[in-house]
């Protein structure tokens, strides 16, 4: 398995996945390059949405595929935005505008002394073919808190507002290598790589 289709059109995710998998000699091909449209995300859990997207990309491409579903979960909001993180606020005109609206809504929801603890969550599903009965499933969690004003220019999504008390910086203030080593997506990818090696997928 040296070529994997990524079931996402998110350039930030593509950049992170390529950086993590390149040392293994795995080429990550975004589904958009193959003319595959994004699948719907109709479910209320991250894992179900990840599997739907991975199976869709594999079915359309005829190749092994993987997908992540990830989001930010605020303690004071009973886990919201959760699976709705990418579309938490309505009316975004493009990815950057959507990110800005999402962050504004989350910061507003946590005003007035509410608990600002939050965590990023990621689950990755990988299938060898669309009907794979044994998909590989890996997950990661990254603990932090939401701050009121953005800091940093790296990353994407909620990263400028996701503060890491133990290191005194936001996710957007981390260099890519540093972020990939500790983030929710980095944790999930590291676990997925371990699974790939154990299952000897990388030798095929």
Residues paired with residue 74 on neighbouring β-strands, in sequence order: 118
Tens of pLDDT along the chain (204 residues)?
688 999 987 887 888 888 888 888 889 999 999 999 999 888 999 999 999 999 999 999 999 999 999 999 999 999 999 999 988 998 767 888 999 999 999 999 998 877 999 999 999 999 999 999 999 999 999 999 999 999 999 988 999 999 999 999 999 999 988 998 899 998 999 999 888 877 666 554
Report the 3 state secondary structure along 84-150: HHHHCCCCCCCHHHHHHHHHHHHHHHCCCCCCCEEEEEEEEEEECCCCCCCCEEEEEEEEEEECCCC
Catalytic site includes residue 69: yes
Half-sphere exposure of 24 (CA within 13 A, CB side): 24
Taking residue 155's Cβ as centre, other Cβ atoms within 10 Å add up to 19
Query: How far, in Å, CA of 25 to CA of 186, rounded?
Result: 17
Fold that domain 3-203 belongs to in CATH: Maf protein (3.90.950)
Where do the domains of the chain lie?
Answer: 3-203
Q: Are 26 and 3 in contact (CB under 8 A)?
A: yes
The residue annotated as part of the active site, out of 38, 68, 69, 90, is: 69
The reported pLDDT for the residue numbered 198 is 76
**Which DSSP letter does residue 157 get?**
T
Instruction: Note the pLDDT of residue 133.
Output: 95
């Amino acid at each position: 398995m040296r070529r994997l289709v990524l079931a996402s059109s998110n350039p930030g995710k593509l950049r992170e996945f390529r950086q993590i998998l390149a040392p293994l000699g795995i080429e990550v091909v975004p589904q958009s390059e193959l003319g595959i449209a994004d699948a719907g995300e109709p479910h209320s859990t991250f894992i179900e949405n990840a599997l739907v997207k991975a199976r869709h990309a594999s079915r359309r491409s005829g190749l092994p595929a993987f997908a992540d579903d990830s989001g930010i979960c605020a303690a004071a909001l009973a886990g919201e935005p959760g699976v709705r993180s990418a579309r938490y606020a309505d009316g975004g005109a493009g990815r950057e505008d959507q990110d800005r609206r999402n962050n504004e809504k989350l910061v507003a929801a946590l005003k007035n002394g509410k608990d600002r603890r939050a965590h990023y969550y990621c689950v990755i599903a990988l299938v060898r073919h669309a009907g794979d009965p044994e998909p590989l499933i890996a997950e990661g969690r990254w603990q932090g808190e939401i701050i009121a004003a953005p800091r940093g220019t790296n990353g994407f999504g909620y990263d400028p507002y996701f503060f890491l008390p133990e290191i005194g910086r936001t996710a957007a203030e981390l260099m890519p290598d540093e972020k990939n080593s500790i983030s929710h997506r980095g944790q999930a990818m590291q676990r997925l790589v371990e699974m790939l090696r154990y299952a000897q997928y990388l030798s095929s």
